[in-house]
A and B are shown apart, each in its own frame.
Chain A
Amino acid sequence: MTPSPKGFLSLVLHCHLPYVRHPEHEYFLEENWYYEALFETYLPLLATFERLEREGIPFQATLSVSPTLLSMCLDPLLQRRALRYVDQLLALAEKEEKRVRKEPAFQPVVRMYLQKLGDYRERFKDQYHGNIAEGFKALREKGRLEIITCAATHGYLPLLGIREGAVRAQVEAALKFHESFFGEKPSGFWLPECGYQPGHEEILKDHGIKYFFVESHGLLQATPRPRFGTFAPIQCPNGIAVFGRDLESSKQVWSSKEGYPGDPDYREFYRDVGYDLGEGELHPYLRPEGLRRFTGLKYYRVTGETREKQPYDPARAVQKAGEHAGDFLSRREKQMGEVARWMERPPLVCSLYDAELFGHWWYEGPDFLYYLFERNHREGRGLAFVTPSAYLGHFPQSQACQPAFSSWGLGGYSEFWLNETNDWIYPHLNKAYDELSALASRPVSVDNLTERALHQATRELLLAQASDWAFMMKAGNYRDYAERGLKVHLVRFHQLVRQVRNQKIDPKFLSDLEEKDNLFPGIHYRLFKTPGK
């Protein structure tokens, strides 16, 4: 860390995907979300961090790795299928290389894909042996990354919180699973969707958590009013630190007007060869169902507000990412300079982003991150990148305030997860919770088969509690998948509970579910025991 920095910058990337593992199908469209994120975000991020490490550039960042994502990273089936995915994509890119020989404008971008995909494939297969979480773990051990977790299946806690035990179960399952892989419990906790309900800090404290994040207004509207706004963390009355999201730096990346990703030189997301090419040219990539879809091979740049897009120039885009990183740093310096004179400690800017923004949506995002650290170091800007734990190590004292109910979703509260499209799910989630809680609270020991059935029912309920279902129902694009997914988990849950209650467990049915929904191998149904019993 710089001896006396002008200010601190805490970069936090939230890595989450819903549990989209579908072993019952050889190919499953939604499973591609995982592979796309793998080769467009997680591997590029790892490559960026490792490059910084290799070049001796100091950097620190925080990654929130959701337990569902971690489960998928560890899964051998998905590891095999990920390799198949990238092999098919590479085959398509090789075919494309031949096709564009007469179109020189597209040759650089096709070569870029071939080079990058080849590199990521090699890392995935030979360096991480299919498990990219090992890469994150290694960087954590080198002190470069702080890895934290979030709720087990990304349950939206303010709404699940109607049953406190449901929140406890989501937190406890997440921490145990995180610890089983990373070797220790995390200091921080990412509240899914930054959804904070006053009182949940008690649950986090009970589990040894030291800090969490809230959306800007969750902190700015705290009681009493925070002295330094979001430029310093606060402490809940129970002592847990709370970091507020900085609006200005978020806006620079997310905003439709000022946001970097909309720059004309950057890659255009929506022009993909999966839709641009003829079916014959895509054959056999679109097998087996033959449906057109995004492939990840995109040849155009944003260009501007026009439908006539220009070919993408990789070198130019990388250069722009470097310029934007410089601009970002300059603006942080200005921002911090503005408020530093009012503070008796250097200001902290806490920038929270979805990791998948970097690479998947904003293709040049990983380059931007590289230059962020590189330019700050090379140009001696005096901003110190810091993890929340490191910051709290320097400044253990914070103002005691009670943060306010908030989320980072539309409207700032729970509207996106509770509205006319998805409100019907909550009676069912609460009912399922009550059922399992009643079973888990029985002071009786059960035989091995019953125990397995209850463990599996626990997995099914946790999966049903994922915030992703409600989100997709509201967003609309994948409503059918979300409704089906939620119902499938709840129906599986109720079938298992009925079998347990009737003492007629079908071992074949149980084994089938254990194979299908195999996350959290060490889960225990007593997680759902009624609090206090």
Chain B
Amino acid sequence: MPPKKKAGSAVKKIKETPVKAKRAKAITKPKVAKAPAAPKKVKVPAAPKRAKAGHVAENVHEKIAVVPEQKPPLHRSKIQSRPRPPLNGSKSLPRRGETQMVAFIRDPQCIFTYWEITPEGIEDVKRQLTDEFHHSSMVLMVFKIGANGHPELVQEIKVEPGDMNRYIDLNDPRGTYYLEVAQKTPSGRTVVYVRSNKITLGPSEFGGSDVSARQWETPAGILEYFSKEEFTENYYSPGGPSSMDSLKRKKGHYSSSDFR
């Protein structure tokens, strides 16, 4: 029989896994937003599936990216971003060999992204930044599309040239996001290597929808039923399911010893 039925008791919560990897510096969105407001005139192109490496950041990014790095990092109890070894477990498989960046929604509070930048892409950026390149650093930028349709930088994370992926926890997960890997100079000039696909997290993943059309209003008895402890614990707490305990008992995460 497949191991999926036997795995349960051994499963640990990922967020409990000690991550020895360095913590990235992050800059909170409010501090960014207060500096230069997102310019309305800039048209934001749709994130291409495979962004061309080395294109110069548009003004909007340059302006936002001027935020000084000495701003205090965001203090959160959870891991903000976690770099991963680039080739773990995949040694026998071919590398892609092209510049690309992909973002996934892992859960309502966490994005996973991987990227690859070709040597040619790096050379291209070097040419654009000339001498400034040697004083610059590579950054991973998280943008949120605001209500006005313009992107706002909500996190900026220093990455190393060898990094290829990250988990990013989000402060305010509702909305549409995309990410960029860029080279940033001390003066704030930013040249983008690659941009990810857009990802959207709907409002309903966070504690249930507030929307209730009048003719379909949930009767009090039903609400009461689903407000019982187990449902409150699991499904109506802000930020989505908080109690992993009962979910653990579900499919694939139990063993017969759990039944005792």
Binary contact readout A382-417 vs B (1 if CB under 8 angstroms, 0 otherwise) = 000000000000000001011111101111111110
- Neighbour of B246 across the interface among A228, A251, A341, A415, CB < 8 A: A251
Is A305 close to B, CB under 8 A?
yes
A226-B218 in contact (CB<8A): yes
Alpha-carbon separation in the docked complex, A404 to B209 (Å): 9
**Is the beta-carbon distance between A229 and B226 smaller than 8 angstroms?**
yes
Alpha-carbon separation in the docked complex, A402 to B202 (Å): 10
**Do A361 and B209 form a contact, CB below 8 Å, given A250-B250, A411-B244?**
no
A356 contact from B5, B213, B221, B225, Cβ within 8 A: B5
Among B199-237, those with CB < 8 Å from A are: 201-213, 216-222, 225-226, 230-231, 234-236
Are the CB atoms of A424 and B90 closer together than 8 Å? yes
Contacts of B244 in A (CB 8 A): 410-411
Q: Are B212 and A427 in contact (CB under 8 A)?
A: no
Q: Within 8 Å of chain B (Cβ to Cβ): is A521? A: no
**Chain A residues within 8 Å of B1, by CB:** 17, 32-33, 36-37, 40, 356, 360
Q: Which residue of B lies closest to A302 (CB)?
A: B260
The residue of chain A having its C-beta at the shortest distance from the C-beta of B209 within the complex is A223
Interface flag for A222 (CB, 8 Å): yes
Give every chain A residue within 8 A of B226 (Cβ-Cβ). Answer: 220, 229
Of A103-111, A166-174, A444-452, A468-476, which stretch is located at the interface? A468-476
- Does the CB pair A259–B202 fall under 8 Å? no
Mark A156-178 against chain B: 1 for CB-CB distance below 8 A, else 0.
Answer: 00110010000000000000000
Chain B neighbourhood of A228, CB < 8 A: 218-219, 222
Shortest B222–chain A CB gap in Å is: 5
Q: Is A28 close to B, CB under 8 A?
A: no
Say yes or no for B23: interface residue by CB 8 A criterion. Answer: no
Taking a contact as CB atoms under 8 Å apart, the answer to whether B235 and A475 are in contact is no
Q: How far, in whole Å, are A184 and B255 apart by their CA atoms in the complex?
A: 37
Q: Per a CB cutoff under 8 Å, which of B6, B89, B253, B258 touches A410?
A: B253
A residues within 8 A CB of B4?
A: 468, 471-472, 475
Q: Is B42 an interface residue (CB 8 A)?
A: no
Asked if residues A227 and B218 are in contact (CB atoms below 8 Å), the reply is: yes
B5-A220 in contact (CB<8A): no
Q: Which residues of A contact B212 (CB under 8 A)?
A: 224-225
Whether B88 and A360, one on each chain, are in contact in the complex, defined by CB atoms closer than 8 angstroms, is no
Say yes or no: B89 contacts A483, CB within 8 Å. yes
Asked if B11 is at the interface of the complex by the 8 Å CB criterion, the answer is yes
Type the 1/0 row for A409-444, where 1 means its CB is closer than 8 Å to any CB of B.
Answer: 111111110111011111110110000000000000
In the bound complex, CA of A229 to CA of B216 (Å) = 11
Contacts of B106 in A (CB 8 A): 413-415, 418-419
Question: Is residue B92 contacting chain A, with contact meaning CB distance below 8 A?
Answer: yes
B170 CB, nearest partner CB in chain A, Å: 13
B14 to chain A, nearest CB (A): 5
Bound-state Cα–Cα, A455 to B250, Å = 37
Give, as a whole number of angstroms, the nearest-CB distance from B111 to chain A: 10
A36 to B14, CA, bound (A): 31
**Contact status of A410 and B248, CB under 8 A, knowing A259-B259, A356-B5, A418-B112:** yes
B30 in contact (CB, < 8 A): no
- Tell me if A322 counts as interface (CB < 8 A to partner B): no
Given A162-B102, A225-B211, A423-B165, are A416 and B204 also a contact pair (CB < 8 Å)?
no
**Contacting residue for B89 out of A18, A342, A419, A424, CB 8 A:** A424
Could you tell me the distance between the alpha carbons of A422 and B14 in the complex, rounded to whole angstroms?
12
Instruction: Report the bound CA distance from A36 to B1 in whole Å.
Output: 6
- Please give, as numbers and ranges, the residues of chain B lying within 8 Å of A427 by CB-CB distance: 90, 96, 102, 114, 116
CA distance A420 to B1 in the complex (A): 25
Chain B neighbourhood of A40, CB < 8 A:
1
A194–B101 CA distance with the chains assembled, in angstroms = 27
Pick from B14, B106, B241, B251 the residue with the most CB of A within 10 Å.
Answer: B251
Query: B207 contacts which chain A residues (CB < 8 A)?
Result: 221
Whether B37 sits at the interface, judged by CB under 8 Å, is no
Q: Which residues of B contact A193 (CB under 8 A)?
A: 251-252
List B contacts of A304 (CB < 8 A).
Answer: 260
**Is B7 at the interface (CB under 8 A from chain A)?**
yes
Residues of A within 8 A of B236 (CB): 220
Please report which residues of chain B, range 3-50, place their CB below 8 angstroms from some CB of chain A when the two chains form the complex.
3-7, 10-11, 13-14, 17
Min CB distance, B62 to chain A, in Å?
Answer: 29
Q: Given the interface contacts A339-B222, A475-B4, does A224 sit within 8 Å of B104 by beta carbon?
A: no
Residue from B10, B165, B254, B258 in contact with A476 in the complex, judged by beta carbons closer than 8 Å: B10
A409 near B235 with CB under 8 A, answer no
The CA of A477 and the CA of B244, in the complex, are separated in Å by: 21
Are A342 and B219 in contact, with the CB atoms below 8 A?
Answer: yes
* Assembly CA distance A158 to B106 (angstroms): 9
Quick check: B222 and A227 within 8 Å, CB to CB?
Answer: yes
Within 53-86 of B, Cβ neighbours of A (below 8 Å) are at 82, 84
Q: Which residues of A contact B114 (CB under 8 A)?
A: 423, 426-427
Q: B105 near A414 (CB under 8 angstroms)?
A: yes
Q: Is the Cβ of A224 less than 8 Å from the Cβ of B260?
A: no
The distance in angstroms between the C-alpha atoms of A467 and B216, with both chains bound, is 37
A224-B211, A404-B204, A420-B14 known; A475 and B7 CB under 8 Å? yes
The answer to whether A474 and B108 have CB atoms under 8 Å apart is no
Name which residue of chain B comes closest to A414, CB basis: B106
Q: Is A491 on the interface with B (CB-CB < 8 A)?
A: yes
B162 in the interface (beta carbon within 8 A):
no
Distance of A417 Cα from B81 Cα, bound (Å)? 18
Contact mask A480-500 → B, CB, 8 Å, 1/0?
000100010011001000000
Within 8 A of B (CB), among A28-45: 32-33, 36-37, 40
B148 within 8 A of A: no
Taking CB as reference atom, which chain B residue is nearest A37?
Answer: B1
**Contact assessment for A487 and B93 in the assembled complex, using a CB-CB cutoff below 8 Å:** yes
**B208-A220 in contact (CB<8A):** yes
- Min CB distance, B78 to chain A, in Å? 13
The CA of A264 and the CA of B222, in the complex, are separated in Å by: 35
Structural contact, B249 and A220, CB atoms closer than 8 A: no
The distance in angstroms between the C-alpha atoms of A261 and B230, with both chains bound, is: 21
Task: Specify which of A247, A414, A422, A490 is in contact with B230 (CB 8 Å cutoff).
Answer: A247
Contacts of B256 in A (CB 8 A): 261-262, 268-270, 302, 361-362
For residue B119, CB closer than 8 A to chain A, the reply is no
Enumerate chain B residues within 8 angstroms of A343, measured Cβ to Cβ. 219, 222
Q: What's the nearest-Cβ distance from chain B to residue A222, in Å?
A: 6
A477 close to B93 (CB less than 8 A): no
Contacting B209 at CB < 8 Å: which of A36, A225, A420, A472? A225
Of B84, B116, B202, B250, which contacts A405 at CB under 8 A?
Answer: B202
Would you call B130 an interface residue if the criterion is a C-beta within 8 Å of the partner chain's C-beta atoms? no
Measured CB to CB, the closest approach of chain A to B189, in angstroms, equals 30
> Is B2's CB under 8 angstroms from A413's CB?
no
Which residue of chain B has its CB nearest to the CB of A488? Answer: B92
Q: Known contacts A223-B209, A412-B107, A431-B96; can you find 7 more A-B pairs with CB under 8 A? A: A227-B217, A227-B219, A254-B254, A255-B249, A261-B256, A411-B107, A491-B92
Top 8 A-B pairs, shortest CB-CB distance: A262-B259, A475-B7, A413-B107, A342-B221, A224-B211, A342-B219, A256-B258, A269-B256
